[in-house]
Amino acid sequence: MLNGARQVVLRGRCWKVGHSLAVDGPVLPDRFVKVRETDPEILKRHLFEEVNQSFAQLVKPGDILVTGRRFAHGNPHAYAFIGMKALGIGLVTESITWGSFRNAISMGVPVLPFCPGVTEHVSDGDDLEVDFGAGVVRNLTTMLEWSFRPLPVPLLEIILIGGLRQQTKRRVMELTHA
């Protein structure tokens, strides 16, 4: 699914959610935030359970979460993005708040952050292909495609290596052996 150098392309089912989903609660239930749960295997089973009960059971790696405006607003907790990374899904948002965008990249979740109107072009259950480096969303169900602002190369590199933690470890190792 991550094809070749500097390309991040995912293909899968579209999971569509609405506008203004707070990161604590609708995206991930508060109880996991309170206990500062960081186990990806636990977190991935509870994403969106307040919004869509079947999501966690049916979602597959490569699936694309398409959201409305102001996705994951609130205190910028990263737990939900640890869960998304564990699921292997991508994120396409009409807009996402600054702190959550940073957390998504940091945890290694591919994301197209500014895709105005994208929720009008896709339906829940559509077959989608998203090229994050090119900023292209293809709806394979309707055979239409749209271009948005691509994810910049330095951030694609973080996604490709699996997150900022992995990239930092790699850089420290390179510096140590240089």
Partner 1 sequence: MGKTIAEKILSRAAGQPVSPGEIIFPCPDLITVHDGHAVNLKKDLDEFGIKKMWHSERVIFSCDHYAPLFNVQEAERLKSTRAFARDSQIGWFFETGQGNGHILPMEHGLVRPGMFALAYDIHVTNFGAVGALAIPVNYDISTVCALGSVWVEVPKTLRINLVGKAHPSISIHDIAQNIIRDIGEEVGNYTVFEYGGPGVLDMGFSGWMTLCNLPIEIGAVSAVIEPNVRMLEWVRQRTQEPFEAVWSDPDADYESVKEYDLSEVEPLIAAPPQPDNIHPLSNYTGLPIQVAVIGSCVIGYDDLKQAAAVLNDRQVHPNVRLVIAPPTQEMLQRAIRDGLIDIFLRAKAIVFTPGCGPCIGGRGAPLADGEVCVATITRNDPGRMGSPQADIYLGSSVMVAASAVTGRITDPREFNQC
**Residue ranges that bind partner 1, judged by CB under 8 A:** 22, 24-25, 30, 34, 69-70, 73-76, 78, 95, 97-99, 102-103, 105-106, 152-155, 158, 164-165, 167-169, 171-173, 175-176
The distance of closest approach from Cβ of residue 28 to partner 1 in the complex, given in angstroms and rounded to an integer, is 13
Minimum CB distance to partner 1 smaller for 18 or for 61 = 18
- Pull the structure tokens for residue 60: 């597959």
The distance of closest approach from Cβ of residue 90 to partner 1 in the complex, given in angstroms and rounded to an integer, is 19
Phi, psi of 113 (to 5 degrees): -80, -30
Helix axes 98-107, 153-161, angle to 10 degrees: 50
Minimum CB distance to partner 1 smaller for 60 or for 149 = 149
- Pull the structure tokens for residue 82: 């640890």
The distance of closest approach from Cβ of residue 54 to partner 1 in the complex, given in angstroms and rounded to an integer, is 25
The one-letter amino acid code at 128 reads L
Minimum CB distance to partner 1 smaller for 93 or for 139 = 93
Minimum CB distance to partner 1 smaller for 92 or for 128 = 92
The distance of closest approach from Cβ of residue 129 to partner 1 in the complex, given in angstroms and rounded to an integer, is 25
The distance of closest approach from Cβ of residue 166 to partner 1 in the complex, given in angstroms and rounded to an integer, is 10
Q: Could you give the CA distance from residue 41 to residue 91 in angstroms, rounded to a whole number?
A: 19
Minimum CB distance to partner 1 smaller for 6 or for 169 = 169
List Cβ neighbours of 50 (8 Å cut-off, separation of 6 or more): 25, 26, 29
Please name the residue ranges forming H helices in 88-132: 98-107, 118-121
Q: Could you give the CA distance from residue 76 to residue 72 in angstroms, rounded to a whole number?
A: 8
